[in-house]
């Protein structure tokens, strides 16, 4: 379960304080799959960064499964993220020097300090990449890279899956297929899912949609 109270993140540019993200109240139930939509610049990605603990807000609280994320030390927050969160980025963000299998195993390593090769192979097989495990990202298609990113995000059976425009660079049919795969696997591991998207079809596929207000020009 995610609870956000009175959240605000601002940046200072040229002496001016600009609001990058502002959420007064938000609750997402455990296992719920929610789309976050809104115009460009409204703070969708910033919200995911804050919820994942990568970005510290100027104000407000974020509770994940009752744990106040920013009451934790940075080290504890890193551990929390490694064990509880899965993250699918906009451009999948695989490490170019590592194979598909190693990209997945790295998430295991940072979560537990151990690598379960069999489990990593199993997840790649489930996303249809049994023949591509030893391939590096540059040797994979965009769709295959995205499936590696999905396997990496879910390998540790996260409590919270954060997906930032995961289908943005795909054609509608592939996007639908990828999203279905993501949702199915999230459901299987019981993960709460936050999906940032511009695509109405993707948003419609989720259980609920939250619109963030337009922050263009917002300043404090």
Partner 1 sequence: MKLFAMAWRNLRQRALSSTLTIFSILLGTALVTTLWLVASEAQRKYVQSTKGFDVVIGPTGTSSLDLVLNAVYLAKPAQGVIPFSVYRELREDRKKWGQYVRYAIPFAYGDSFRGFPVCATTDEFFLKWGRAAEDVQGERPPDLVFAQGGPFAFTHDDFKAEAEVQAQRHRDGKTGTEQEVPPAWRKVVLGALAARSLKLGIGDTIAPAHGTGAALHFHEEARSEVVGVLEELGSPIDRGIFVPIGLHYRLSDHAAIGKLDRDVSADDVELSAIVVSCRPGLGFLQLRKQFMTRTDAIAAAPRIAVQELFQVVGNIAEALGGVAWIVLVVAALGVFLALYNTMVERERDIAILRSIGARRVQIFTITLAEAAWIGFVGATLGVLVAHGLAWFASDWLAHATGVPIRSGVFAPREAWLVLGVTALACVAGLIPAWRASSTDVARHLGRD
Query: Between 47 and 173, whose beta carbon lies closer to partner 1?
Result: 47
Relative to beta strand 85-88, strand 160-164 is parallel
Residue 45: phi, psi to the nearest 5? -65, -40
What whole-number distance in Å separates Cα of residue 89 and Cα of residue 63? Answer: 22
Binding of partner 1 by 54 (CB under 8 A): yes
Among 29, 95, 180, 201, binds partner 1 (CB under 8 A): 95
Query: Between 29 and 216, whose beta carbon lies closer to partner 1?
Result: 216
Relative to beta strand 59-64, strand 67-68 is antiparallel
Number of residues forming the site for partner 1 (CB under 8 A): 41
Binding of partner 1 by 74 (CB under 8 A): yes
Query: Between 32 and 93, whose beta carbon lies closer to partner 1?
Result: 93
Binding of partner 1 by 79 (CB under 8 A): yes
User: Binders of partner 1 among 171-200, rule CB under 8 A?
Assistant: none
Binding of partner 1 by 115 (CB under 8 A): yes
* Options 41-49, 62-70, 138-146, 169-177: segment touching partner 1 (CB under 8 A): 41-49
Binding of partner 1 by 5 (CB under 8 A): no
Among 148, 164, 197, 203, binds partner 1 (CB under 8 A): 164
Among 32, 58, 110, 119, binds partner 1 (CB under 8 A): 110
Among 2, 19, 62, 94, binds partner 1 (CB under 8 A): 94
Binding of partner 1 by 82 (CB under 8 A): yes
What whole-number distance in Å separates Cα of residue 211 and Cα of residue 93? Answer: 26
> Cβ distance 4 to 51 under 8 Å?
yes
149: tokens are 């990113």
Binding of partner 1 by 60 (CB under 8 A): no
Query: Between 2 and 36, whose beta carbon lies closer to partner 1?
Result: 36
Residues that bind partner 1 (CB under 8 A): 20, 40-46, 49, 52, 54-55, 74-75, 78-79, 81-83, 85, 87, 89-91, 93-98, 102, 105-107, 109-111, 115, 152, 164-165
């Amino acid at each position: 379960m995610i609870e956000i109270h009175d959240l605000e993140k601002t940046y200072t540019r040229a002496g001016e304080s600009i609001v990058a993200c502002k959420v007064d109240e938000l609750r997402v139930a455990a296992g719920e799959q929610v789309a976050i939509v809104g115009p460009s610049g409204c703070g969708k990605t910033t919200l995911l960064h804050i919820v994942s603990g990568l970005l510290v807000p100027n104000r407000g609280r974020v509770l994940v499964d009752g744990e106040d994320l920013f009451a934790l030390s940075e080290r504890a927050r890193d551990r929390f993220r490694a064990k509880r969160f899965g993250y699918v980025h906009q451009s999948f963000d695989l490490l170019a020097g590592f194979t598909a299998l190693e990209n997945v195993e790295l998430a295991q390593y940072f979560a537990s300090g151990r690598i379960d090769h069999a489990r990593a192979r199993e997840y790649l097989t489930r996303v249809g990449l049994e023949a591509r495990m030893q391939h590096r990202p540059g040797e994979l298609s965009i769709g295959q890279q995205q499936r590696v990113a999905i396997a990496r995000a879910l390998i540790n059976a996260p409590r919270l899956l954060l997906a930032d425009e995961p289908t943005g660079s795909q054609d509608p049919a592939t996007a639908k297929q990828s999203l279905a795969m993501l949702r199915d696997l999230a459901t299987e591991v019981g993960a709460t899912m936050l999906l940032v998207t511009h695509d109405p079809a993707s948003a419609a596929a989720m259980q609920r949609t939250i619109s963030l207000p337009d922050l263009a020009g917002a300043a404090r």
